[in-house]
Structure 1
Amino acid sequence: MSGPSVRLYSVAVVCLLLITGCASSREEIPAPVAPPESFSDSGDATMPDKWWRAFDDDPLNQRVDRALGSNLDLRVAWQRLREARAVLDRESASLFPDLDANADAETRRGSERGSDTEQLQLGLSSSYEVDLWGRIGSRVDAERFRLQASYADYQTAALSLSAEVTRTWYRLMEERSQLELINNQIQTNRDVLRLIETRFGSGQTQSADVLRQRQLLESTREQKLTIESRIQVFEHQLAVLLGKPPRSAIDQAGRSLPELPPLPETGLPVELVQRRPDVRRAHNRLRAADAALAAAISNQYPRLTLNASVSTRENDANDLFDNWASAFAGNLVAPLIDAGQRDAEVARSRSIKQQRLFEYGQTILTAFQEVEDALIQEKKQRRRIESLEEQLRLADATYEQLRLEYFNGVTDYIDVLNTLTDRQELRRNLLSAELELLEFRIALYRALAGGFDTGRETGELSHNE
């Protein structure tokens, strides 16, 4: 290519790139719903980015860290993120000229000896579509926003995984506490049965009392089977969450639930919108749809393609580089009739943008709801636990009173049995209620949490934000 042609090509590319930059700019899309001024309640404690560490439970921390590194579903989300980056790189390549090289060699044999001829050819060709109206830039922007949405997807998956591991860990812990409690209740019922059998042997009670107590003992044994089954199910769930086969050995969990940490500071609703990865995902999907709409609109306008080439052709390799020919051309293509295809694509893209806008608004509303739900559930659950503790205190007192009256022959055993059954059920319900309170706190942490570093991000995706 000659000097003037090169300069003309370069100037044209630079100028039109400036035009492209102006054509592809778009305004920020405001949130479709207005956030409330504040949440209904808030604490003073600072919640760490890795929220589960607020429980100060080292065995739990180890398991969550292991899950973040080994869980297969999270690895799938990571590969989707890498796929999105590759798509962005592919689309971004359209912003730059293509350069191709070619080389041909041909030998022609003549009818006479020594009349063979060789022809050699070398060449370079380049083509570049000028992004006059921002079509290519808008497509690249759409993929960039989709990459950011994929990154938020990955953060959401990591956040959900951490919550699921934490819930499963404490459910396993609660079931083991239930198993210890039910073993104690079985022993209590067995001791009471021996006392009643002794009284029956001396004619101080009826056989029905013995049968009723045996039924209660068998009922508690049956409940133990159910608890043992749930323990194994939670162990299987936890193993799979950690990326291991279901029957893998799980280290023993503790037998008492942790004390609930102080209520975290909820912050402002507008800060939650900026922090939560699922909201950021919905926002970036909306921005991607907006960029795709801009690309569809730009596709209705003419396209300008610049082509440049340089080549040489000689019969002798020694003379191959002596003579060069160059060419520079521009091709302008304007759509005239397409039976409404481009208009239909614009209408489709506009509809998708509206869908993403409403999805974005619904995600914001759901985020606010999850925080408020967790706050009110925890508040009411605390009162419920206080009520259960009071009921248990009364049941203990009632049982001791009726038991004394029964052995003194003042009351029937059916009253003692009913009170004993209620008392044991209340103890089991209290353990379950304490787990529910812990799960409401987990839900609050999950609702308030933002994204966190899982260990894969550093040095891997430099332009995911």
Structure 2
Amino acid sequence: MLKAIFIVLILGLLSACSVTIKDFPAPVTLPAKFSASGQAKQSDRWWLAFNDTALNQLCGQALSDNFSLLAAFNRFEQARAIAKRSGAELIPQVNGGLLGSQASAQSQRNNDLVLGLAASYELDLWGRIRSAVNAAKLDANAAEEDVFSAAISLTAEIATTWYRLIEQRQQLKLLDQQIEINRNNVTLVTVRFRGAQATAADVFQQQQLLESVIGSRYTVVSNIAVLENQLAVLVGKSPRVITLPIVEEFPAVPPLPDTGLSLDLMQRRPDLRKAYFSVQAADQRIASAIADRFPKLSLSASVEANSPDLQSLLNNWLATVAGNLVLPIIDGRRRVAEVERNRAVSAEAFNNYAALLLNVVKEVENALVQERQQRLLVANLERQVQLSTQASSMIRLRYINGAMDFLRVLSAVLSQQSLERNLLQARQQLIEYRINLYRALAGKFPLRDVSATKNRHREPVS
């Protein structure tokens, strides 16, 4: 009898419908190539291209200790566990039980032992269960891609914050130099005022310029502290606990990477892969909802032994095999509505995938054109600073010789100092545009450090 039950269950497994996962073509027409491309091959760990030891250390520490990234791993594990739970429905469920009882009367005492095994299984005739399992597995794949997207976003945010910090440190150094120059100018104008060669208004204007630069310094000092705190949190540390290296120079912008074909991004970018898995999962849920409208066939088997003592328990047993067919007849169109809902969800996932594809191409093209124009702007500002410095020196010299009024000197100094600050901002922005390009082209990279620590339990700091 047990052999017959086993054969029935195996036949049930073999009779289940196989469900295939569909492939979907690109929903939009993409350009074959991007508007610009270089020769350098982009590394998976794209930040290494800057050859910046401090940045490499920050990114490595963040990939190991950043709590948001660890949380993304936890979400992936949840999705993977759900997929395992869904797959359990494809396996027959077997439960066992042992019951012992004793009844006493005035003249006699009865012992009774009952041992039972029960198995149940739903034949997946129309692929309802398998479609749901496939959808859960695809959800897990999408959650895994979310981890890689989070890693790319994290490293890009660290690089952007790091170079903004360097820019602010450069601004602080420049402001200190400008403060010293303006103090010297205040001394110069004051001496000329005492000699009746300048007016009181000239002194007040130069003092106001000095105070303006000092005020800008306060803002920069605040910005430096905020950026340092932000970096500390990004690498999984509390502000003022981590010691950041002192770097005050930008690295050279690496050569332009090979942008490749636009279709390559569909296989490389984790967010696109996630969107594609979401489309496939939604399609599988449509199939599961449709199959739920068809009859369900379930098999059950049980074996029960009953005896007054353990020794003879297996000599007295009863086996039962049963089948159960359930056919939906009237459900208020609930199952039809569920199919319609899943079709709408699938359409939404498909349209989201299409929109993301267009945005990805836009991100790459934006980064390319912004970097190209920013290079021209940096070169232009460098020429302006050079010309302004020469003009300021000549105007100051002529003022000392009494051939020019102080307003021209003040205007020249203000213009020069403003251009010097703008040049630093432009150089930082150029690096940021390159980071945007790397991020737009980035694919997933190994996350062994995070994998080793994703289940780590941390003790709260007292």
Equivalent position amino acid for 1:9 in 2? V
- Give the CA deviation at 1:123: 1.2
Equivalent position amino acid for 1:223 in 2? S
Name the SS of the counterpart of 1:41 in structure 2.
coil
1:324 matches 2:321? no
Distance 1:123 1:36, change over 3 A: same
1:179 matches 2:179? no
In the other structure, the counterpart of 1:61 is 56
- Give the CA deviation at 1:252: 3.0
Distance (whole Å) between structure 1 residues aligned to residue 452 and residue 263 of structure 2: 30
1:102 matches 2:97? yes
Distance (whole Å) between structure 1 residues aligned to residue 14 and residue 254 of structure 2: 61
Distance 1:295 1:163, change over 3 A: same
TM-superposition CA deviations, 1:172-223 (whole Å, max 9, x none) = 1110011000000001111122122222222222222111111111111001
Distance (whole Å) between structure 1 residues aligned to residue 452 and residue 84 of structure 2: 17
1:153 matches 2:146? yes
- Does the 8 A contact of 1:374 with 1:440 survive in 2? yes
Distance (whole Å) between structure 2 residues aligned to residue 257 and residue 459 of structure 1: 33
1:70 matches 2:65? yes
Q: How much is the aligned-residue C-alpha RMSD, in angstroms?
A: 1.5
- Does the 8 A contact of 2:279 with 2:349 survive in 1? yes
Distance (whole Å) between structure 2 residues aligned to residue 459 and residue 287 of structure 1: 30
Distance 1:7 1:416, change over 3 A: closer
- Give the CA deviation at 1:12: 1.8
Name the SS of the counterpart of 1:269 in structure 2.
coil
Matching of residues 22-41 of structure 1 within 5 Å: 24-41=19-36
Distance 1:457 1:385, change over 3 A: closer
TM-superposition CA deviations, 1:372-423 (whole Å, max 9, x none) = 0000000010111111112112211211121121111111010010010000
TM-superposition CA deviations, 1:245-289 (whole Å, max 9, x none) = 223343233101111000000000000111000000111111111
- Does the 8 A contact of 1:172 with 1:253 survive in 2? no
Name the SS of the counterpart of 1:332 in structure 2.
strand
1:20 matches 2:17? yes
Among all aligned residue pairs of Structure 1 and Structure 2, give the percentage whose two residues are the same amino acid: 41
Could you tell me which of 412, 428, 434 is aligned with 1:435? Answer: 428
Distance (whole Å) between structure 2 residues aligned to residue 342 and residue 394 of structure 1: 76
Equivalent position amino acid for 1:366 in 2? N
Q: What's the TM-score, normalizing by structure 2? A: 0.96
TM-superposition CA deviations, 1:135-162 (whole Å, max 9, x none) = 0000000001100100011110111000
Distance (whole Å) between structure 2 residues aligned to residue 459 and residue 57 of structure 1: 25
Name the SS of the counterpart of 1:105 in structure 2.
strand
Distance 1:198 1:458, change over 3 A: closer
In the other structure, the counterpart of 1:111 is 106
- Give the CA deviation at 1:424: 0.4
Distance 1:386 1:105, change over 3 A: same
TM-superposition CA deviations, 1:102-126 (whole Å, max 9, x none) = 11111111222xx100111101111
Q: What's the TM-score, normalizing by structure 1? A: 0.95
- Give the CA deviation at 1:26: 3.9
1:189 matches 2:188? no
Distance (whole Å) between structure 2 residues aligned to residue 127 and residue 271 of structure 1: 47
Distance (whole Å) between structure 2 residues aligned to residue 266 and residue 7 of structure 1: 58
- Does the 8 A contact of 2:128 with 2:289 survive in 1? yes
Q: List alignment gaps of at least 5 residues for structure 2.
A: 455-462
TM-superposition CA deviations, 1:305-360 (whole Å, max 9, x none) = 11111111011222111122211111111111101000000000000000000000
Distance 1:212 1:129, change over 3 A: same
- Give the CA deviation at 1:460: 11
Structure 1 window deviating more from structure 2 (192-201 vs 344-353): it is: 192-201
Matching of residues 38-57 of structure 1 within 5 Å: 38-57=33-52
- Give the CA deviation at 1:298: 0.4
Could you tell me which of 326, 344, 351 is aligned with 2:344? Answer: 351
Equivalent position amino acid for 1:169 in 2? W
Equivalent position amino acid for 1:59 in 2? A
Q: How many corresponding residue pairs?
A: 454
- Give the CA deviation at 1:456: 5.0
1:419 matches 2:412? yes
In the other structure, the counterpart of 1:253 is 246
Distance 1:149 1:397, change over 3 A: same
Distance 1:82 1:270, change over 3 A: same
- Does the 8 A contact of 1:125 with 1:310 survive in 2? yes
Distance (whole Å) between structure 2 residues aligned to residue 367 and residue 413 of structure 1: 53
- Does the 8 A contact of 2:228 with 2:244 survive in 1? no
Distance 1:326 1:459, change over 3 A: farther
Distance (whole Å) between structure 1 residues aligned to residue 148 and residue 97 of structure 2: 46
